Structure 1
């Protein structure tokens, strides 16, 4: 797998200001540990041909003030600290202003253990965390998650 850093892909460019959101959906809590809550992820499938294993879950930090919350846009209700295995929770993305900090293309698509295999990725950081170099997350542009993206401001460097 080769990864290529770009300035623009599929109409998104480094520096763009976006609003992202996703309506909350019901998810089953599969497992909890002292630090994590693992929920079934309905928009990805295990890739039977993968070199990597993925168990069909996505993990979230249990601590509401935990540092790891800066690395995911998704939020849980009720609070992750209250959840136990076998319970249902809501998972969604509240409206969040983000800046595109990177654009990456994988050729062939990346093998992370799930389908669809990512081919284009936006690296995003919430605007209020832009000074924190450890904050941020990726958005797989060919992913099945129902994430809505709205362009608020085009990067002045590229066509803006």
Structure 2
């Protein structure tokens, strides 16, 4: 289980040790792997998972750019019945969405996810016009994912924090790309920032000092540029 409270904008490094598996099927675009993780959820009658997972069949297949898992030998060399190893080499991604499920989502597999992060690989920018984009991951299931937080923009703020900027304008922080000005004028906050209340509606002297110190130098633009360097991508314009 990843002990990170993920949020949009997080830049992560993800790794999964390569594990013994077997090829169950091969098609023009995919290789079906007898998945070495997960268990069938017998209490879900409307989904009957067969124990296989399809991954992109090689660099020339359409799903390759949205595939984190790789095989050894490479997927394009595999044949039905062959033994292989499946895992994720160290890969940098950035989070574009965090979903939470209460009750946990029924997928036909165990464990049932109570949250999911949707990520894009380094170098790929979020397209707000795309109907569907990104790779969904359950960071808490029994795939032995190793996840390291590389960079978090505005790490010194919590979601829901209210701050005042250099010009006295009040803002709500709903995420690095989701600044909401209480005067309705838009824009982005001018540093330094002063914490007014936390996301819980309370003040906190220690956190107030942290926010003040973190924003004495720099700017919103510099914080975004730090994210660009980590993600090799452009932030979404909402």
Runs of 4+ in 1 over 4 A off after TM superposition: 131-135
Q: What displacement does 1:70 show?
A: 2.0
- Paired residue total: 152
* TM-score of the superposed pair, with normalisation by structure 1: 0.85
The RMSD of aligned alpha carbons is: 2.1
Where does structure 2 lack aligned partners over 5 or more consecutive residues? 159-238
- Structure with greater helix percent: 2
CA distance in 2, matches of 1:87, 1:67: 23
1:18 aligns with 2:12: yes
Is the alpha carbon distance of 1:141 and 1:14 closer, same or farther for their aligned partners in structure 2, counting shifts above 3 Å?
same
SS in 2 for 1:149: strand
1:91-123 deviations in whole A, cap 9, x for unaligned? Answer: 111111111111111111111110111111111
1:60 aligns with 2:58: no
- Structure with greater strand percent: 1
**Does structure 2 conserve the Cα–Cα contact (< 8 Å) formed by 1:72 and 1:136?**
no
Mapping 1:1-160, distance limit 5 Å: 10-50=4-44, 51-130=46-125, 135-156=133-154, 159=157
CA distance in 2, matches of 1:158, 1:52: 42
* TM-score of the superposed pair, with normalisation by structure 2: 0.59
Where does structure 1 lack aligned partners over 5 or more consecutive residues? 1-8
